[in-house]
Amino acid sequence: MNETKIFEASPEAKGKAKQLRIFAVLAWLLAMAGQVFAILKLISDETMVWLIVAILVILVLAITGSTLWKKANKLDPASEKEPTRFFIQNQLGAIMGVLAFLPLVIMIFTNKNISGKTKGIAGSIAAIAMVAAGITGADFNPPSVEKYTEEINQQTAAAKSLDIDTDNVYWSKAGNKYHAFDDCQYIKGKALSSGSIKKSWEDKGISELCKVCQKKAAKSAAKPAVKELLEVEN
């Protein structure tokens, strides 16, 4: 019987991902609006300081959008079987980060009505901000359905080797690890969710067993083996 558990984001995770993506798009739209304003109103020697301030604001908005977008991708990843969608979904932050600055950089360096000093200072800052936004937005280790599926099954196999009930683990709302025991010191007294290791992934993106629970499970799993060894020796 094939026990491979294919990852699929839960409705709750998809809902959170959708919300995060909406906020990300809003941040990018504000960054684009800031860029348009900077191009139309701030490219001049007299307003260079305000131009630099606008560049920094655009950078913050671009990075905020990318951060939210990547969080959404972790909750609801794309499949590697759809390479175009997979690339666009995971690298959209880098694309939008560059687009939030590229027209502005071009307009600064090609504007004939500003001095070389303004071009050098404002243009360099805008170019550096563009690179920073692009690098920050890029995902160099993007999540995918396939990666999550592989890790879920590895976690499940490792937990089974410790005699952990893989269909009944625990996690808290703010936690980033799942627990084999509901009386673990890190979750004792907290409101808990429970379910399979797969569900902890789908609901919260949790991919790691609590170290305290791991040690406790290892000790429990070792006791029967030690007892059996002693019986054999006797």
DSSP letter for each residue of 164-202? --TTSEEEESS-SSBBS-TT-TTTTTS-EEEE-HHHHHH
Q: Where are the domains of the chain?
A: 11-137, 145-233
| Whole-number percent of the chain with pLDDT over 70 | 92
- For the stretch 144-167, pLDDT in tens is 999 999 988 888 888 888 889 988
Alpha carbon distances (Å) from 77 to 13, 30, 106: 10, 25, 34
Residue-level pLDDT at 230? 40
C-alpha dihedral over 9, 14, 16, 17, to 10 degrees? 90
Backbone angles phi, psi at 114, to 5 degrees: -120, 160
Residue 179's beta-bridge partner residues? 170
Angle subtended by helix axes 102-110 and 116-137, to nearest 10 = 170
Predicted structure pTM score? 0.80
Residue bearing the bigger pLDDT, 36 or 190: 36
For residue 26 the two structure tokens come to 């809003």
Residue 126 has pLDDT above 50, yes or no: yes
* CB-based contact 105:58 (threshold 8 Å): no
**Which stretches within 76-210 are classed as H helix?**
83-99, 102-110, 116-137, 145-161, 197-204
Residue-level pLDDT at 13? 86
**Residue 40 per-residue DSSP state:** I
Residue-level pLDDT at 125? 98
